[in-house]
Amino acid sequence: MTDGPGHGLPMTVPARGLPSAVRIHEVGPRDGLQNEQTVVPVEVKAEFVHRLAGAGLRTIEATSFVHPRWVPQLADAEELYPRLTGLDGIRLPVLVPNARGLDRALALGAGTVAVFGSATESFAKANLNRTVEESLAMFEPVVGRAKEANTEVRGYLSMCFGDPWEGPVALEQVVRVSRRLLDLGVDELSLGDTIGVATPGHVDALLHALGEEGVPPERLAVHFHDTYGQALANTLAALRHGVSTVDASAGGLGGCPYAKSATGNLATEDLVWMLHGLGIETGVDLGQLTATSVWMAERLGRPSPSRTVRALSHKE
């Protein structure tokens, strides 16, 4: 089960114009678990991160220093973070919603933090209870203090391709908020398709518009959700634009496929299958990663929604 597909599949056939290596930003422990119904004990979370690192992932978003009232699933951040030892060379970003969250993260020695913004007013209001401008104003000192502390900062921008309240989101609006976040000093900006509605031409158009605005693909990451099955096709479009950091969640954690709110992160295994078929280096051992997701799925009491995990874990 853990040896990958075997038989030399997928065949490695590179395509022109794609990066030679991709850095996978693994979000399972944070974006994945925060959307799961099951409460996961802190020692299981710690083991999950260690197993992911063992499978070759080098950037693993570990948890969130958000108020426990909002994300009870991650209320154990202070307990979890000190358990993540012996992970030399592994980046363990943590989400910080505000100055208080940054304080908590810095106190524990986090080397990378992430702030979470919205491209739309509706989601800024729903998620942050602020306008987009007010949220940027809140992030400014957070980013500034993190940089002073020599801490890397990732910016998330959600609802870049559509919003559940507003519907379509104008490219100009996404470009404008992206530019603001980058100007605040975030080192990397992750463009989120939070409700999974993007299609590849839309991805092309946004990355093109950002390029016109002087944003190089090296500062961008993409964060696709598989709600409508589009995540991997969209990733392919982003790779063609030179984006080489891709967010994914081991086993597709983060959203029940049967619920209305299904957010379904792109499964890291489905991504790795494609990247390895394309001859793009990831450092990930697909067999070990699949075994990790099967292990985690057992703890969550439901099968992984990743197609690759399902297919590989039923090999004899």
Active site members: 256
88/316 with CB nearer its own copies: 316
Cβ(264)–Cβ(41) below 8 Å:
no
Residue 229, Cβ neighbours under 10 Å: how many? 10
Q: How far is residue 182's CA from residue 158's CA, in Å, rounded to a whole number?
A: 15
Instruction: Give dist(CA 282, CA 28) in Å, integer.
Output: 17
Tokens in use for 306? Answer: 């990743």
Nearer to its own copies, 6 or 89 (CB): 6
308 binds its own copies, rule: CB under 8 A: yes
Q: Does 168 bind its own copies (CB under 8 A)?
A: yes
202 binds its own copies (CB under 8 A): yes
111 counts as binding its own copies under rule CB under 8 A: no
Residue 62, interface with its own copies (CB under 8 A)? Answer: no
Q: Taking CB under 8 A as the rule, does residue 15 contact its own copies?
A: yes
> Which of 277, 304, 316 is closest to 32 using CA atoms?
304
Examine residue 5 and tell whether it contacts its own copies (CB under 8 A): yes
Q: Is 200 in the site for its own copies (CB under 8 A)?
A: yes
* Contact stretch for its own copies (CB under 8 A) within 56-64, 115-123, 152-160, 257-265: 257-265
Report how far residue 267's alpha carbon sits from residue 211's, in angstroms, rounded to the nearest whole number.
27
Query: Any contact of residue 69 with its own copies (CB under 8 A)?
Result: no
Q: Smallest gap, in angstroms, from Cβ of residue 241 to its own copies?
A: 12
Q: Are 228 and 195 spatial neighbours (Cβ–Cβ below 8 Å)?
A: no
Residue 164 neighbours by CB distance under 10 Å: 14
DSSP lists the bridge partners of residue 154 as 114, 188
Among 50, 27, 87, residue whose Cα is nearest residue 268: 27
| 11, 85, 129, 148: residue in contact with its own copies (rule CB under 8 A) | 11
Closest to 25 in 3D by CA, of 265, 263, 280 = 265
Amino acid at 14: P
User: Rounded CA gap, 164 and 170, in Å?
Assistant: 14
Q: Is 224 in the site for its own copies (CB under 8 A)?
A: no
Exactly one of 63, 64, 73, 230 binds its own copies (CB under 8 A); that residue is 230
278 touches its own copies by CB under 8 A: yes
Stretch that binds its own copies, among 2-10, 58-66, 99-107, 216-224 (CB under 8 A): 2-10
Q: Is 204 in the site for its own copies (CB under 8 A)?
A: yes
Binding piece for its own copies, criterion CB under 8 A, among 25-33, 60-68, 99-107, 160-168: 160-168
Helix (H) or strand (E) holding 106: helix 99-107
- Under the binding rule (CB under 8 A), the answer on residue 244 touching its own copies is no
Rounded least distance, CB 10 to its own copies, Å: 5
Task: Specify the amino acid at residue 40.
Answer: V
Which of 41, 82, 109, 229 lies at the binding interface for its own copies (CB under 8 A)? 229
| Alpha carbons 295 and 310: distance in angstroms, whole number | 12
Residue 52 contacts residue 292 (beta carbons within 8 Å): yes
Out of 10, 54, 211, 242, which residue is the one contacting its own copies (CB under 8 A)?
10
Residue type, 130: R
For the CB of residue 231, give the shortest distance to its own copies in the complex, in Å. Answer: 8
Q: Are the beta carbons of 1 and 315 closer than 8 angstroms? A: yes
* Contacts to its own copies by CB under 8 A: 5-11, 13-15, 18, 161-162, 164, 166-169, 195-202, 204-205, 226-230, 232-233, 235-237, 257-260, 262, 264, 267, 270, 273-274, 276-279, 303, 306-308, 310-311, 314-316
